[in-house]
Amino acid sequence: MKKSLVIVTLLLIVCEISFAQIRNNRRRTNTSGQSEINYASPQEYEIAAITVEGADFLDKNALVSLSGLKVGDKIKIPSEEVSGAIKKLWKHGIIGDASVVLEKIENGRVFLIIRLAERPRLTKVYYEGINKTQEGELNDNINLVRGTILTDAKVKNIELGVKDYFIDKGFLNTTVNVTRRADSIVSNGVQLLVKVDKRTKVKIEKIAFDGNDNFTTNKLKRKMAKTNEKIRFRVFSQLANQIFDFKFSKVGDFVDSSRTVSGGQLQEFINDNIKLNFFKSAKYRKEDFEEDKKALIEFYNSKGFRDAVVVRDTLYNVGNDYIKIDIVVDEGKKYYFRNISWTGNFVHTDETLNSILAVEKGDVYDLEKVNRALSFNPKGADISGLYMDDGYLFFNVQPVEVGIVEDSIDIEMRVFEGTQATINKIIIKGNDRTSDHVILRELRTLPGQKFSRSDIIRTNQRLAQLGYFDPEQIGINPVPNPADGTVDIEYTLVEKPSDQIELSGGWGGAFGFVGTLGLTFNNFSLRNIPNFDKWRPLPIGDGQRLSIRAQANGRQFQSYTFSFSEPWFGGKKPNSFSISLNQSVQRTFNFDGGVDSVGRPIVLRRTRQNEFNATLKLKSASIGYGRQLEWPDNYFVLSHALTFTNYELNNWIPGSLGFTDGNSNSITFNTTLARNSIDNPLFPRSGSSLSLLLSLTPPHSLWRDVADDAPNAEKFKWVEYHKWMFDSKYYITLAGNLVLESRAHFGFIGSYKRDAEIGPFERFELGGDGLAGQNFILGTDIIGMRGYENNTITPPGYGLNRTQATVDQIEGGIVYNKYSMELRYPITTGAAATIFAYVFGEAGNNWNTFEEFNPFDAYRSAGVGARIFMPAFGLIGINWGYGFDTLPGRTEPSGPQFQFTIGQQIR
């Protein structure tokens, strides 16, 4: 018992000693500060290590750097440095949660752990309620990229961005709902589902103005080109009431008992109402509305209201997807020009500059008009052009308001003339197919010359007219060097295919199906024929034109044409040289077998063995030479051609040419004076094209002794005539891309003697698509006129079944005229294709004698159409025209006609 008590006592003593040692060790450890931190008394420690936990996709070293903590730095714990590190990580928005944990403290050194949770990343976006095009535009606009870190703010911005996108397009009532769902494949990935309900586009019910004391509401609405009310048919009743309320007093005036309204005022009322929005959309687009507000202020400024502002605009929902817009304007005071003075001008006097400025004291203050006259005036001269055409590239003028007295403003024109700039270098880029010398010879800007803005414009036109480059992408960049007074000019070009393959078939009237195969190389090079490395697939690059064309439908009709032209013959001057060869044969059946022994006509029968018994052959060769003129200006070209043509008739159809058997020969000298200033040969927007052609044959009748009663075959053995052709085209841009083309054409054939007969060749046939049809090998000029059948507008009385037909019975007229107008709008003008639509109106006629000629006696038509130009196939057109008038021998108007055209129609 005693022994047991002693053993227990010893065990208790040993346990007490052990626990005392543990408590002492703990106290010694705590004094080193491993885990217990005294927040009342922060201690400074050295950072021994920093570990990042929870970063599976982010770079851990980068996260440590973003926190601002570095190993070896001394920090106090606790302190703002630790909480600041967390704030820095949050600031970048790439993590969702973050904390800094103390792992341990040893000997005044602290081990830190940065624990964080990464934000989810975008893996895919799904849309509902919109099309693929809109999806692509939204992804670009909102910048939704796979891997984007998604925050709540980012998701909200996506929702607002989608909504704003559709609001800008007029869908003001669009609702957007964005939901998130975890990606089952990508860890930490999130997919977004964007549900869009666009609803219908909002339309404008009414636009109201307030504060417009000087202009009517309708006047201001007309200045808003893209923001329009819905069409109100009550406008027509208003117009009717306006007209019928007046009594017609005299031409141009309407009068009632209380007032007199001029025809101009009535026209203004019509413009303000009918033209206001009859052809315009009433859909609302925010971007368009902002542009129209600027246009509104520009209109006010042009009328002298320089202080005019839009105070506010308010949109109201009025139900059924319609809104009302209230616009409050502050017009301010109307101002006028008073004194205009010039400073810094030494080259030109004040009087010269004022004459170009064309602003008089007392004129309505219009700074936009002044700026046009100073910088660039497309409708007339401007002061910048005056200086820059004389080399003053560094010229600058600033209009400064120097005084305002009541409603009058004084303007001081501060001119910096600078020195005259000389062209230093010409840089050409982008001509992958065309040789440099072909481009350089078209330039009006050459090294060593004075800089000239008009030469730059002219060069742009010449490059566009070549047809080798996309005219919409021709870039001209003057690079001035003020230090030495020189300028480098850089031309940037985009080549487009210019060669054409014509592979087509069509119905050729009496011929049936006619097939055509043609190859035209518009940038050919004879010089590069031996250089196979420049064949693509034929030698190209020197601007020559080679054309080969064949048409046939078997034995009945065949035609072969070859032509070659060199626009710079000799290589030094723009003198053109051309040659062309043609051979054609036309076979048909002549049912006229003459008369029998008692004078009765014999009608032949056509059999398989006797399919053709009438033949007309044509052979021609032509050589031409032309040169560019410098007077009256360098848009003029004078060209000459000498042509020999032989016609061989064998049992030909009586009446059509005046004889049935024999040969006719024609030697023709052609002279053409032409001026072409159009800006783009495929879709002109400005400029004009004028051409006067004179064709002369030798006056064979002076030395040929042919009796008046001689057979026609003898009379027309040598063709004799003089022929005059005038063609004009004029282009003007009405608004935006809307272009008006106006054309006028006239042709006349005469004889050298007053009583001499005019032969059957080179006459005019009018009507149809302008393609030659069945008479093109006869040397006949085929003039197209839509809305009428081919070649139907021809003087009556020809084509009789008479072997010895008189001149009055020969096909075709000797004088014609034609007028045409087209209102064109481009659908696309890219390098791959140029497509434009148009409406047209035409009028024309054809006469057999000059005494019958009456330019106002014309057959009329109107219609719509479209043309498409593809480099490989050329220009193709389709027209629907309606002929309003009745042709001779018919009982009703021509009516609707569908017609196709191939190639550029001259007339």
Pairwise CA distance, residues 115 & 129, whole Å: 42
Instruction: Judge whether 803 and 818 are in contact, CB under 8 Å.
Output: no
597 or 589, which is more confident: 589
Q: Within 13 Å of residue 846, how many CA atoms lie on the same side as its CB?
A: 22
Q: Residue 469: which of 568, 543, 531, 567 has the closest Cα?
A: 543
Residue 388, classed as helix, strand or coil, is helix
Q: What is the DSSP letter of 788?
A: S
The residue type found at 99 is S
In this prediction, residue 261 carries a pLDDT of 45
Pairwise CA distance, residues 382 & 517, whole Å: 51
Instruction: Judge whether 646 and 619 are in contact, CB under 8 Å.
Output: yes
Mean pLDDT of all residues in 737-743 = 94
Q: Kindly tell me the sign of the dihedral angle through the C-alpha atoms of 79, 81, 82, 87.
A: positive
pLDDT averaged over every residue in the chain = 82
Among 132-141, 142-151, 159-168, 352-361, name the one with the lowest average pLDDT: 142-151
- Residue 507, both tokens: 């119905």
pLDDT range class, residue 592, cuts 50, 70, 90: low
pLDDT at 399 over 90: yes
Pairwise CA distance, residues 431 & 465, whole Å: 15
184-214 pLDDT, tens digit each:
787 778 888 999 998 888 888 889 999 999 9
Instruction: Judge whether 571 and 535 are in contact, CB under 8 Å.
Output: no
β-bridge partners, 126: 193
The residue type found at 787 is G
Pairwise CA distance, residues 589 & 285, whole Å: 67
Instruction: Judge whether 578 and 623 are in contact, CB under 8 Å.
Output: yes
Going from the C-alpha of 115 to that of each of 60, 89, 455, the distances in angstroms are: 11, 11, 71
The beta-strand segments (E) located in 27-66 are 43-53
Going from the C-alpha of 151 to that of each of 85, 122, 154, 198, 409, the distances in angstroms are: 20, 10, 5, 25, 56
313: CB partners within 8 A, 6+ apart = 289, 293, 325, 326, 327, 328
Pairwise CA distance, residues 711 & 718, whole Å: 13
759 or 8, which is more confident: 759
Backbone angles phi, psi at 21, to 5 degrees: -65, -40
Give the residue ranges of DSSP H helices in 278-335. Answer: 286-302
Q: Residue 783: which of 815, 750, 739 has the closest Cα?
A: 815
In this prediction, residue 229 carries a pLDDT of 84
13: CB partners within 8 A, 6+ apart = none
Residue 367, number of CB atoms within 10 A of its CB: 17
- Residue 510, both tokens: 């009496």
- Residue 272, both tokens: 């303000």
In this prediction, residue 18 carries a pLDDT of 39
Q: Within 13 Å of residue 151, how many CA atoms lie on the same side as its CB?
A: 11
Mean pLDDT of all residues in 690-694 = 96
Maximum distance among all alpha carbons in the chain?
Answer: 181
Q: At what angle do helices 263-277 and 234-244 cross, to 10 degrees?
A: 170
Mean pLDDT of all residues in 155-164 = 87
Pairwise CA distance, residues 868 & 877, whole Å: 6
Pairwise CA distance, residues 284 & 823, whole Å: 27
407 or 20, which is more confident: 407
876 or 325, which is more confident: 325
Q: Within 13 Å of residue 829, how many CA atoms lie on the same side as its CB?
A: 16
In this prediction, residue 379 carries a pLDDT of 72
Mean pLDDT of all residues in 81-85 = 77
Mean pLDDT of all residues in 652-673 = 86
Measure CA of the first residue to CA of the last residue in the chain; give whole Å: 143
Distance between alpha carbon 142 and the CA centroid of its chain, in Å? 29
Helix (H) or strand (E) holding 396: strand 396-405
Most confident of 26-40, 240-254, 730-744, 754-768: 730-744
**pLDDT above 90: percentage of residues in the chain:** 41
Instruction: Judge whether 119 and 136 are in contact, CB under 8 Å.
Output: no
Pairwise CA distance, residues 734 & 729, whole Å: 16
In this prediction, residue 240 carries a pLDDT of 47
pLDDT at 509 over 60: no
pLDDT at 57 over 60: yes
Instruction: Judge whether 60 and 52 are in contact, CB under 8 Å.
Output: yes
pLDDT range class, residue 4, cuts 50, 70, 90: low
Q: Residue 772: which of 501, 502, 500, 509 has the closest Cα?
A: 509
**pLDDT above 70: percentage of residues in the chain:** 82
pLDDT range class, residue 493, cuts 50, 70, 90: very high
511 or 276, which is more confident: 511
In this prediction, residue 247 carries a pLDDT of 38
β-bridge partners, 429: 492
Q: What is the DSSP letter of 121?
A: E
819-843 pLDDT, tens digit each:
999 999 999 887 778 999 999 999 9
227-273 pLDDT, tens digit each:
888 765 444 444 444 444 443 333 333 333 344 444 444 444 444 44
Mean pLDDT of all residues in 434-448 = 93
Helix (H) or strand (E) holding 369: helix 367-374
pLDDT range class, residue 604, cuts 50, 70, 90: low
Pairwise CA distance, residues 645 & 199, whole Å: 70
188 or 301, which is more confident: 301
Pairwise CA distance, residues 659 & 616, whole Å: 12
In this prediction, residue 280 carries a pLDDT of 59
pLDDT range class, residue 711, cuts 50, 70, 90: confident
Among 252-256, 324-328, 383-387, 722-726, name the one with the lowest average pLDDT: 252-256
Mean pLDDT of all residues in 617-631 = 94
120 or 416, which is more confident: 416
780 or 495, which is more confident: 495
Q: Residue 618: which of 665, 576, 571 has the closest Cα?
A: 665
Residue 143, classed as helix, strand or coil, is coil
Total residues found in the chain within this entry: 907
Mean pLDDT of all residues in 590-613 = 56
- Residue 182, both tokens: 């975890």
C-alpha R_g of the chain = 43
Residue 38, number of CB atoms within 10 A of its CB: 10
772-810 pLDDT, tens digit each:
543 444 568 889 999 999 888 988 644 333 344 454 456
DSSP 319-346: STTEEEEEEEEE-----EEEEEEEES--
In this prediction, residue 759 carries a pLDDT of 83
Pairwise CA distance, residues 486 & 479, whole Å: 9
* Omega cis (within 30) before 78: yes
In this prediction, residue 514 carries a pLDDT of 64
In this prediction, residue 593 carries a pLDDT of 56
